[in-house]
Structures are given as structure tokens and as C-alpha cells.
Amino acid sequence: MASAAGKAAKRLIVRFDKKMVLDPALAAHPPLYESARPWWIKYSWLFAGASLFSSFTMAEASWTQWKRAADPNDPEDAKTGEEWLPQPTWMRLGLGGFQLCAGLGLTALIIALQSRVVRRVRVIPPGVAPTLGNGAEKRLLLQSALDYSRASIIPFSAARLYPGRDDTELVINADGFRGNLWLGTKNAVVDGQAGKAPGEVRGALMAEWGIKKGDTVQIPQNPSAKTKLAKSAV
């Protein structure tokens, strides 16, 4: 198995210019796959903001409003003359810290999920746009839902395509990426053609990888463990 450093070395991050162009030569090669961002991604930053706001609000409430009834038999409580007293510092700090960590963790998860959703795939033939990676080989350009002005380029041979749970999705396992990448086939555009059914989109993409209907492919259950494989007929 290739090391993490070896995998990362195969991935090239490129940035678009002000006109959102990587190389003029790519104009003659439309993306193999394009899809709009799923609805939940369109509102993901709102979800992330709500997560942060709610976690900070709950942490602040835990610190300032979490109280206990004063014990009239406790001399220390009696000295304060208050009916309600704050909970011990360690309890308020612990609960507030947990709420903050939960909010930050959920926000990080929302952002990470965006990077796993692919919105554009472009196959670059050998000899085309030689400045993008190794021009002598076939390359794959990937843009996730989180990529606005940049894209990732890897050798085509470093990416493996697998069927998803049904006709509406596909999975790419590629060197240089953590975990699998998800492609939705509903309302997707293939080779510049819109209006195709999910099954047609799925078939066109799998054909690019040389996978035919009826072929048996191995789907990794855990990308980091080659021994855990399950066979599934396409």
C-alpha cells in the first residue's frame, strides 16, 4: 500500500485565473460530469453558523445561568444571602467546554462533507494542457462542492470508480484524498448533455473507467484497509 505521503504527492492543486480558466485547450473538452450542489450544501454555511451560535449560546448559559438552590444549613451558602448560587466552577466549565467542542466538531464535519461531494469531473487526454500535471498521461480533474476557484488533478490511473447504493450515486476512491468522494447522478450533465436519467449518467461514467454492465467490481468497505472488500455486480 502506498504511503500517505506518496499518495499526496500525486495530487496537484491548481487555481483558476480571474476568468475562471485553467488552460484554453480545455475549452474543446467539456467536463465529463457536472452537477449542481445538493440543497443541503447550499445552506451548509448557514448550518455551520447556526451550530456555532447555538453552541456558544448554550456554553454561555451554562456558565452564567446554571445554578443550584442555596443550602440554608451550609454556612458558606448562608453568608451569600442568595437563594440561588452558581454550580461549582468545574461543572460549569466542563459542560460549557463540551458544548463548545460539540459545536466546533459539528461545524468541521459540515465543512468536511462539502469536500467529499464532487460537482465537476473533467478527463484530460494525454498531450492536452501539458502544464496541468504530467501532460504525457491521461489525467482527472476534480472539483468538490467546497472548491470555487481551484481544482485537484491526479493521474487517471490513481482514481477508481465504484457503484453507489443505487443508480443515483457513484463513489470515487482516489489517491491523495482522505476517504471516498461522492457523485450524485440526478440532474447531472454528462459530456455537456443534460436531461439524462440517473442510470444513463451512471453508465456513461462507468464506461469511461471501462466498466461494463454486468461486470463485477470490488467496493472497498474501508478505504484504508485493502483486505475488507465486497463484490458487487454492476
- 105 and 132 share one domain: no
- 192 and 169 share one domain: yes
Higher pLDDT, 119 or 221: 119
pLDDT computed for residue 224 by the predictor: 42
Highest mean pLDDT among 2-6, 43-47, 199-203: 199-203
Determine, yes or no, domain membership for 150.
yes
- 228 and 122 share one domain: yes
Determine, yes or no, domain membership for 22.
no
Q: In whole angstroms, give the CA distance from residue 165 to residue 232.
A: 10
**Which neighbouring-strand residues pair with 173?**
160
Determine, yes or no, domain membership for 54.
yes
63-67, 128-132, 230-234: which has the minimum mean pLDDT? 230-234
Asked whether the predicted pLDDT for residue 19 surpasses 60, the reply is no
Determine, yes or no, domain membership for 178.
yes
pLDDT computed for residue 162 by the predictor: 87
**Which neighbouring-strand residues pair with 193?**
190
pLDDT computed for residue 78 by the predictor: 81
- 84 and 137 share one domain: no
**Mean pLDDT along residues 194-204:** 87
Asked whether the predicted pLDDT for residue 131 surpasses 70, the reply is yes
Give how many domains the chain has, as a whole number. 2
pLDDT in tens, 20-50: 566 666 777 788 898 887 777 778 788 888 8
**Mean pLDDT along residues 104-124:** 87
Asked whether the predicted pLDDT for residue 231 surpasses 70, the reply is no
Determine, yes or no, domain membership for 162.
yes
Phi, psi of 55 (to 5 degrees): -70, -40
Determine, yes or no, domain membership for 24.
no
Q: In whole angstroms, give the CA distance from residue 136 to residue 176.
A: 20
pLDDT computed for residue 113 by the predictor: 82
Task: Show which of 113, 128, 149 is a domain's final residue.
Answer: 113
Asked whether the predicted pLDDT for residue 2 surpasses 70, the reply is no
- 106 and 128 share one domain: no
- 174 and 205 share one domain: yes
Give the long-range contacts of residues 144-148, CB within 8 A, separation 24 or more: 144/114, 144/115, 144/116, 144/117, 144/118, 144/119, 144/181, 145/37, 145/38, 145/41, 145/114, 145/115, 145/117, 145/118, 145/119, 146/111, 146/114, 146/115, 147/115, 147/119
Q: In whole angstroms, give the CA distance from residue 100 to residue 106.
A: 10
Higher pLDDT, 221 or 198: 198
pLDDT computed for residue 234 by the predictor: 55
- 131 and 155 share one domain: yes
Asked whether the predicted pLDDT for residue 218 surpasses 50, the reply is yes
Closest to 167 in 3D by CA, of 73, 117, 88, 234: 234
Question: For the chain, what is the radius of gyration of the CA atoms?
Answer: 25
- 129 and 224 share one domain: yes
Closest to 35 in 3D by CA, of 166, 207, 208, 185: 185
- 123 and 223 share one domain: yes
- 134 and 95 share one domain: no
The whole domain housing 76 covers 42-113
Determine, yes or no, domain membership for 23.
no
Coil, strand or helix at 13 = strand
